[in-house]
Amino acid sequence: MAEFKRIFIVGATSAIAEHCARLWVQKAPVEITLIGRDQARLERVAQDLLVRGPQVRAHAVTADFLSADAIEKIVQDTVGDGAVDLVLIAHGILPDQQACQDDLGACRQALEITAVSPALFAEAFAKRMARAGTGTLGIISSVAGDRGRKSNYVYGAAKGLLTRYAQGMQHRFAGSGVKVVLIKPGPTDTPMTAKFKDQGTKLIPVEVAAAQIVSGMEKGSPVVYVTGIWQIIMLVIRHLPRFIFNKMDL
């Protein structure tokens, strides 16, 4: 019997994560665990994957994403004693910057769900991957985390935290069988970015983003920029001198 690859996705109802899952189930027999906050939506995703993949076992589980204990427990319960092949941590929200400036509660919530929670999930999975000495952990950060900008620095700071986190983990696992892949999609066509689409921003199709993430994780690339152009744009933005940067409306 074919060996089932064990895949875990946190934030599995996010559009990018869902499209990655579709690609994984078509490639090989997989046992996929979908972790999210809404059981019914997770089950609809699982149902879809069961049709798409000829050999799929899918589990849909919910957890409290803001509780360290709950995160530890859900990872323990789902991983058990087995090895992990792939983990993708994909959750986060794109908050309204102005709302975060006006309301510290909203600001805190955005930081917790977009930065703290994914970091805790990453740590919990990393512990088990370190023990097994194998597996690939993908963390979805963002090009917005490369430099803080006035238009979205709450989101950018949260993603920046994940970027540093992933870099640290890469250092920790260097030379081992565990790979940590930092993923930086540019603006991708998902429900999260619908308002940008209306404003005429050119968005990356979600299927394209997913295909690059899946191939980047397969190769174990340290950093996956979803399109090369964003790597260049962010290189420029990161290195702009402050006196120029501060005059720009970004």
List residues near other proteins by CB under 8 A: 15, 26, 40-41, 44-45, 47-48, 51-52, 54, 191, 194, 197-200
CA separation for the pair 204, 214 (Å, rounded): 15
Other CB atoms within 10 Å distance of the CB of residue 223: 15
Tokens of 222: 């340290």
State in angstroms the smallest separation of the CB of 17 from other proteins. Answer: 13
CA separation for the pair 83, 5 (Å, rounded): 10
Instruction: Give the max Cα distance, the chain.
Output: 63
CA dihedral 79, 82, 88, 93 (to 10 degrees): 10
Q: Which is nearer to other proteins, 1 or 40 (CB)?
A: 40
State in angstroms the smallest separation of the CB of 13 from other proteins. Answer: 8
State in angstroms the smallest separation of the CB of 143 from other proteins. Answer: 22
42-to-37, 173, 190 alpha-carbon distances in Å: 8, 31, 17
Q: Which is nearer to other proteins, 48 or 112 (CB)?
A: 48
Tokens of 126: 């990393």
Q: Which is nearer to other proteins, 133 or 191 (CB)?
A: 191
Q: Which is nearer to other proteins, 34 or 111 (CB)?
A: 34
State in angstroms the smallest separation of the CB of 65 from other proteins. Answer: 19
Q: Which is nearer to other proteins, 69 or 198 (CB)?
A: 198
State in angstroms the smallest separation of the CB of 79 from other proteins. Answer: 26
For 146, the enclosing helix (H) or strand (E) is: none
